[in-house]
Amino acid sequence: MKEFSVVGKRLQRYDAKEKVTGQEIYICDFKLPRMLYGKILRSPYPHANILSIDVHNAEKIRGVKAVITAKDVPSSKFGFIPSQADKNILCHDKVRFVGDEVACVAAIDEETAQEALRSIIVEYQELPYVIDTKEALSKDAPKIHNPESNLAFEVHHRFGDTEKAFQESEYIFEDTFITSKVAHCCLETRGCIADYSKGRVTIWSPSQSPHTLRQELARVLGISQQKVRVINLSVGGGFGSRLVMDMKEPLAAILSQKTGRPVKIINTRKEEFSTAKARYPFIITLKSGVNKQGKILAREIEIVGDNGAYNDKGPVIFNTAANFASILYGVPNIKFDGFLVYTNKEPGTAFRGFGNPQIHFAIESQMDMIAEKLGADPMELRLQNANQPGDIAASGAEITSCGLEECLMKAADAAGWSYSHKTHANRGMGMAAMVHGGGSMRAYGFSANDAFIKISEDGMVTVISSAVDVGQGSETVVAQIVAEELGVKYEDVLILGNDTDLVPFDLGCFGSRSTFVCGNAALDAARNAKKEVMAVAAEMLEANPNDLIAAEGKIFVIGSPDKSVSFPDAVNFSIKQRGKPISGKGRFFDPIAKDMPQLPFGKRASTFTFASQVAEVEVDIHTGQVEIIKLVAAHDCGTPINPMAAEGQIEGALCQGIGYSLMEELKYGGAEISNPNFSDYKIPTSVDMPPIRTFLVKTAELDGPFGAKGLGEPGLVPTAPAIANAIYNAVGVRIKELPITPEKILNALKEKGLS
């Protein structure tokens, strides 16, 4: 493989120092002159008619500048998918979950705004409510939107013939798995500042997709997109929670328009936990047919998903789950039925993994059950079924690069994989594999991104890139890609990209796509800028441009490194001597995306990443407590641009994966979330983290920038089933419901007479 001088290096992230030392400015620090503070009055009831709202007393409070209710805002409905829009900016006649937006206030400070909320009198008529999906589907259930049914959406896919395949199967497995509703737990709660002035609204927001936010806000306010400008602030945690607008942006915009002053609205931690949307909980019934040799012939999946009170990304998440369920182990016959059900609860949204951690919990837990039935080592069964480069899945997905086999072997090897020979009582190992997207996402029918590069007279490179850095390091990665291509130092590359007035359109940071999509666009721009530099360097060196190489700030003739010119000198020469400033425009364009409607379903993702994780656990049979002894994660991410950042992505995801496996859950006491704070909603602390080993299994992804693929999400996709399998191996109880709490384990042990 070619030696790179910047790509593949463990370089410190450009924003590391500011973040670690607390210098970075986040939305909670950010103030504008004359700024007001907005607060939202939220429904205390899960389901009720609004009979009247009296804001008279609130308006009279000194320092209150505006109070708005449904009659003051456009009556348009919002939804991530416009055809499924079902949410008013402020509730008109009905509230549908505890936390639904009823009124909004702008005041000179938070205390005054809070006081104004307490002075608003709302008369409600309580309605029967439903929080359980199965109940919500019953005929007599209270109806949340549609008077006919609470079914919000259904998704069906058929690849191959599962019925025939089941007839040919030696064994059939059918199990139901339940996954939990978990919160993103961003350290920064969600918020925005809106400034409506000179006929335009500017939004400062820690968004994951500023251009989408711009479209969404324009849509719901009924104004043209050019009247909306989104300036992205440092994002204090994304994980999918900042992909879809919530009502703060339109509310702040309307309040700003009304008062003529900027308005900031930020969630309290309780609001964040109870209204900022969460991972969709799934009830998954998984039926698999396996032949004598251990080949999986068919998979039938039925998912009942809890939509919560309003639509968001649910249908897209179902489709993602369906696609990956057809890819892992290349099962030729797939039947997928997904039902998304309205309940009177906080809605769901995107969350790292996008439906994939849920479906992997089911598939990879059952994989171990299959192995046990066949008397096979779970590792061998996975190796036997592992995807290979060049495979085409039942959904039509084409596997390009694939390092699954190597991931399985590497993780097992490093963990000292021993499934049948136990070293300690109540200790065991478990493994799980995964597939996820890591390239271009074509579900929108387009997938493209532009980038621009300008090079200053002193050789400094500025990249205008749409890559949204949500803490994962995408700007650092883009800088490394550009520096490598131009042959300059990483420190000499500056990234600009936080303003929709400045940067080209992009779908945003999701789907583990930034490195692939924005990285490719920036690489193309660098190539184009490089052509201009090389032409002038060739002239200066009296050489053929094709014989030149650029590296570490120098351009030299192949074979004679003494014959060189510095990168800044070449740029300077071009500008001053030849009157040609140097710049480059680049584009990532996925030609297949536009044909998506006619193409096989599996083509919706261009590139796939694979991984295998091994967990070793010890279970206390008296308390059900799980101690993770170690976690090993081997991930195929193509050729990593920055291995340190890649490892950081995996480590952070593993931490989230441990929480998802063992402790995290939004609990409902009645219709209200009973743990909307960090003392009762448990996430793992630093002392809960086990020793971790990560391996980057290198594959060459020909379509990726310098061979790279995405890695943002995969880290937590297989963690829960790996831990569940380890618990089974340790003490013989199979827990099919997340989180696997000590209480569930103890109950299962008692049922089996093991505790």
Partner 1 sequence: MKNFEYHHPRSLNESISLLMHYGDKAKVLAGGTDLLVRMKREELFVPHLINLKKIPELNFIRYDHEAGLSIGSATVLSTLASSRMLSDKYPLLVESIKTIASPQIQNMATIGGNLCNASPAADMASPLIALRAEIKIAGTWGEKFLALEEFFVGPGKTILKTGDILVEIRIPKVTDSTKAVYLKHGVRKAMEIAIVCVSVALDIDPKSYICNQARIVMGAVAPTPIRSPGAESILIGHKIDENLKKAAAEAAANDACPISDVRGSKSYRLEILKFLVQKGISEILHSVRQDT
366 lies in the binding site for partner 1 (CB under 8 A):
no
663 lies in the binding site for partner 1 (CB under 8 A):
yes
Which tokens go with 550?
């650029």
667 lies in the binding site for partner 1 (CB under 8 A):
yes
Site stretch for partner 1 (CB under 8 A), options 46-54, 365-373, 570-578, 741-749: 741-749
Instruction: Give 72-79 contacts, CB < 8 A, sequence gap 24+.
Output: 72/254, 72/258, 73/250, 73/251, 73/254, 74/220, 74/221, 74/222, 76/219, 76/220, 76/221, 76/222, 78/216, 78/219, 78/220, 78/245, 78/247, 78/250, 79/310, 79/311, 79/312
491 lies in the binding site for partner 1 (CB under 8 A):
no
Burial of 423 (0-12, 13-18, 19+ CB in 10 A): exposed
Residues 10-29 that bind partner 1 (CB under 8 A): none
Which tokens go with 518?
């924005």
DSSP 180-204: -------SSPPEEEEEEETTEEEEE
Measured from the CB atom, is 243 or 745 closer to partner 1?
A: 745
Site stretch for partner 1 (CB under 8 A), options 329-337, 351-359, 442-450, 621-629: 621-629
Measured from the CB atom, is 595 or 680 closer to partner 1?
A: 680
Measured from the CB atom, is 174 or 680 closer to partner 1?
A: 680
From candidates 31, 674, 702, 751, binder to partner 1 by CB under 8 A: 674
- Using CA atoms, how far apart are residues 197 and 253, in angstroms rounded to an integer? 10
- Using CA atoms, how far apart are residues 537 and 550, in angstroms rounded to an integer? 10
444 lies in the binding site for partner 1 (CB under 8 A):
no
Which tokens go with 412?
């097992």
From candidates 25, 544, 623, 691, binder to partner 1 by CB under 8 A: 623
Are 307 and 132 within 8 A, CB to CB? Answer: no
CB of 747 to partner 1, least distance (A): 8
CB of 622 to partner 1, least distance (A): 4
Site stretch for partner 1 (CB under 8 A), options 53-61, 554-562, 662-670, 693-701: 662-670
CB of 39 to partner 1, least distance (A): 11
Query: Among 272, 222, 282, which residue's Cα sits nearest to residue 248?
Result: 272
622 lies in the binding site for partner 1 (CB under 8 A):
yes
- Helix, strand, or coil (residue 5): coil
- Using CA atoms, how far apart are residues 715 and 705, in angstroms rounded to an integer? 21
Residues 102-121 that bind partner 1 (CB under 8 A): 111, 114
Are 600 and 396 within 8 A, CB to CB? Answer: yes
Measured from the CB atom, is 396 or 742 closer to partner 1?
A: 742
CB of 688 to partner 1, least distance (A): 5
The contact pattern for partner 1, residues 270-309, with x = CB under 8 A and - = no contact, is x---------------------------------------
- Using CA atoms, how far apart are residues 354 and 305, in angstroms rounded to an integer? 13
DSSP classification of residue 398: B
How many CB atoms within 10 Å of residue 687?
5
Side chain identity at residue 309, one-letter code: A
Burial of 670 (0-12, 13-18, 19+ CB in 10 A): exposed
From candidates 20, 743, 751, 752, binder to partner 1 by CB under 8 A: 743
How many CB atoms within 10 Å of residue 421?
5
From candidates 572, 675, 699, 725, binder to partner 1 by CB under 8 A: 675
742 lies in the binding site for partner 1 (CB under 8 A):
yes
669 lies in the binding site for partner 1 (CB under 8 A):
yes
Please count the residues of this chain forming the interface with partner 1, following the rule CB under 8 A.
29
684 lies in the binding site for partner 1 (CB under 8 A):
yes
Measured from the CB atom, is 9 or 682 closer to partner 1?
A: 682
680 lies in the binding site for partner 1 (CB under 8 A):
yes
From candidates 64, 130, 614, 662, binder to partner 1 by CB under 8 A: 662
List Cβ neighbours of 423 (8 Å cut-off, separation of 6 or more): none
Name residue, tokens 């335009």.
Answer: 200
688 lies in the binding site for partner 1 (CB under 8 A):
yes
From candidates 682, 692, 734, 737, binder to partner 1 by CB under 8 A: 682
Measured from the CB atom, is 611 or 731 closer to partner 1?
A: 731
Report the interface residues with partner 1, using CB under 8 A: 111, 114, 268-270, 622-623, 625, 662-663, 667, 669, 674-675, 677-680, 682, 684-688, 741-743, 746-747
